């Protein structure tokens, strides 16, 4: 028997996929209607979370944050079977994942953090990427279960909060990328470049392909031989800010980056490769 706590878009589709594979699933959600809606698919919904996990050998979680996970697990504890395995797919802090792993281990239960890079459709189709780390014997034992839920399981080793950290890193990049896309479109609108024309550019030119080289450059700590000088990059950032302002458009990310460039130029790094602005990130 599987129990699943948290019937948001991701959790509910995970459950639907499990049911299609013939699993017996008990579900709970704070908003009870989201859980009871899954009874039409074959799940068994409960009003009380302790009742929902009672009899389950594995409990999956998709909730909001550290505080909610901690609160709901405490409420559910009365229904835990001896030695039950808790697999938490919530995006949480790294320190929270580490604390929960040790807390529930001390209470005689197994807690594993396994966050995902998956949208609701991925959960329904069992595609996408799931991350895991921690005690490798436990990871080995639960990996077959995780593989049923996703297209790829990435094991990041023995640290019980490494997967949580990797998930936050990935989400940070997605947020930064989205802000960059928004700024790109805003500048385009301001200077008469249409979204369709922006799309044409990126259909032929893929800047994300530069990511491995850019990462290597920053982590190398060697910026003395520039391919694009910081002074010149800052000049271009100024043109972007000015162009957007002339077209009455707001840029989210570029002004903050320009301010960081100014700090490094003031410290004498204007003739260095512009990626020097990331030097302190790894030192």
CATH number for position 269 = 1.10.1040.10
pLDDT over 80 (residue 283): no
Percent of the chain whose pLDDT exceeds 70:
100
User: Tell me: the pLDDT tens digits for 207-221?
Assistant: 989 999 999 999 999
User: Tell me: the pLDDT tens digits for 139-149?
Assistant: 999 999 999 99
Q: What is the pTM of this model?
A: 0.91
144 and 193 assigned to the same domain? no
140 and 212 assigned to the same domain? no
Which CATH number goes with the domain that contains 143? 3.40.50.720
CA distances from 64 to 13, 61, 73, 217 (A): 16, 10, 13, 36
Contact (Cβ atoms closer than 8 angstroms) between residue 143 and residue 155: yes
61 forms bridges with which residues in the sheet? 5, 88
Residue 103 within any structural domain of the chain: yes
pLDDT number for residue 4: 98
pLDDT number for residue 260: 97
225 and 90 assigned to the same domain? no
Residue 92 within any structural domain of the chain: yes
- Domain housing 105: 2-160
Residue 168 within any structural domain of the chain: no
Rg of the chain, C-alpha, whole Å: 24
Tally of structural domains, the chain: 2
Taking the CA atoms of residue 188, residue 194, residue 197 and residue 202 in that order, the dihedral angle to the nearest 10 degrees is 50
pLDDT, mean over the chain = 97
User: Tell me: the pLDDT tens digits for 55-98?
Assistant: 999 999 999 999 999 999 999 999 999 999 999 999 999 999 99
274-282: Cβ within 8 A, 24+ apart:
274/226, 274/228, 274/229, 274/230, 274/232, 274/233, 274/234, 275/214, 275/217, 275/218, 275/223, 276/223, 276/230, 277/230, 278/218, 279/218, 279/221, 279/223, 281/218, 282/218, 282/219, 282/221
pLDDT number for residue 282: 81
If you average pLDDT over residues 166-178, what whole number do you get?
97
pLDDT number for residue 188: 98
């Amino acid at each position: 028997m599987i129990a699943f706590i948290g019937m948001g878009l991701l959790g509910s589709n995970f459950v639907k996929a499990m049911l299609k594979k013939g699993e017996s699933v008990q579900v709970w959600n704070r908003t009870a209607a989201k859980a009871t809606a899954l009874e039409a698919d074959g799940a068994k919904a409960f009003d009380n979370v302790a009742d929902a996990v009672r009899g389950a050998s594995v409990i999956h979680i998709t909730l909001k944050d550290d505080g909610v996970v901690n609160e709901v697990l405490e409420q559910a504890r009365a229904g835990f079977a001896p030695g039950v395995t808790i697999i938490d797919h919530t995006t949480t802090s790294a320190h929270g994942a580490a604390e929960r792993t040790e807390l529930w281990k001390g209470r005689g239960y197994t807690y594993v953090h396994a966050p995902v890079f998956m949208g609701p459709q991925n959960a329904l189709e069992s595609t996408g990427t799931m991350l895991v780390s921690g005690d490798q014997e436990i990871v080995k034992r639960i990996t077959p279960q995780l593989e049923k839920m996703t297209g790829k399981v990435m094991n990041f080793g023995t640290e019980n909060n490494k997967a949580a950290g990797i998930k936050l890193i990935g989400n940070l990049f997605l947020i930064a990328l989205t802000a960059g896309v928004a700024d790109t479109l805003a500048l385009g609108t301001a200077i008469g470049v249409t979204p369709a024309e922006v799309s044409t550019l990126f259909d032929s030119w893929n800047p994300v392909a530069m990511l491995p080289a850019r990462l290597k450059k920053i982590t190398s700590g060697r910026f003395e031989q520039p391919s694009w000088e910081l002074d010149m990059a800052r000049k271009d950032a100024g043109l972007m800010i000015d162009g957007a302002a002339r077209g009455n458009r707001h840029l989210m990310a570029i002004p903050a980056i320009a301010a960081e460039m100014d700090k490094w130029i003031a410290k004498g790094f204007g003739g260095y490769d512009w990626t020097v602005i990331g030097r302190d990130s790894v030192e």
